[in-house]
Amino acid sequence: MYLPLILDGGLSNALELEGADLNHHLWSAKLLMDQPELIERVHYNYLKAGARCLITSSYQATIDGFIKAGKTREESIDLLRKTTSLAVNAKERFLKEFPDEKVFIAGSIGPYGAFLADGSEYRGDYNKSKQELIDFHQERFSTIDTTAVDYLACETIPSFEEVKAIAHLLKSAQHKGWISCSCQDGFLLNDGTPIRDVAEYLKGQPHVYAFGVNCTKPEYISSLIKEIRKTNEEIGIVVYPNSGQVYHTDTKTWSGISDPKHCGRMAQEWIDNGATIVGGCCQMGYAHIKAIYESIIKK
């Protein structure tokens, strides 16, 4: 993997620019059933903007969620595999135009809270044991792991207990993965665990390729990187914050403003502090990724 590696940006905000209606318990995963071409288009557009690692559209895609939407188990598994196929299609299209580039695909593993679709991935308060979380993630984890991904992106993990469950599953996975947590400030996960404690726990676990933060306010990122490095100097660090806007779980909408012009400067600061993989999450779009690319690669 080339470092620093640039990830894509938020999937849902890019899909909404394409006219998608995401007001559904499956969120962006709903489009796997009725408008998959929009997902592939967004993947391709992010590559054109400068991303070199696509995160699949499986964040909110779970077998139980698809079954709840009326699909059979077999259809649900096929839809889950489709998330990788769409990213592969976009990658192949891009590489036909730019054959000297290198593109990676990371299979998204969202938290238990994403399945609940009640905003609990921003709180981590679902009171599940490590074993219960392992049981929840196991089938989806195994399904995505057997597709043509390069890495597993275990993202927006809000609690230490869920980090432990994910790390356990990665031990027996075909692919290495990163674990990125959602944090409430520059020091703590959303469940209140100091991020340095999590970094300490992940020492000596080679199946965890990188550790870091996503779906967190940009102003907290540098502090969080420094906290990780206080107890773990070896692990790669992945950061892809949101735009700093506020998400309203009742209406599933965002408020606030964001300026892509700042992204390049912030990304360079994160890299200077030790980040090896950078990108954007919610409400970070094509312009943000382009700014990061131009700052890091074309400087």
pLDDT in tens, 130-166: 999 999 999 999 999 999 999 999 999 999 999 999 9
Rounded Cα gap, residues 93 and 133, in angstroms:
37
Residue-wise pLDDT for 242-257, tens only, equals 887 555 555 565 444 4
Which pLDDT score is estimated for 252? Answer: 61
Domain that holds residue 22: 5-296
pTM (2 decimals)? Answer: 0.92
Rounded Cα gap, residues 28 and 41, in angstroms:
13
What value does the mean pLDDT take over residues 44-70? 92
Yes or no: say if 293 and 281 are a contact pair by the CB < 8 Å rule: no
Number of folded domains in the chain?
1
Place of tokens 């965002």: 254
Which pLDDT score is estimated for 33? Answer: 85
Which pLDDT score is estimated for 45? Answer: 97
What is the CATH classification number for the domain harbouring 134? 3.20.20.330
Residue-wise pLDDT for 255-287, tens only, equals 444 677 778 888 899 999 999 999 998 888 999
Question: Long-range contacts of range 33-40, CB-CB < 8 Å, 24 or more positions apart?
Answer: 33/66, 33/69, 33/71, 33/79, 36/82, 36/86, 39/11, 39/15, 39/83, 39/86, 40/86, 40/87, 40/89, 40/90
Nearest CA among 139, 150, 273, 123 for reference residue 212: 273
Looking at the DSSP assignment, which residues form a beta bridge with residue 210?
178, 236
Q: 247 φ, ψ to 5°?
A: -100, 130
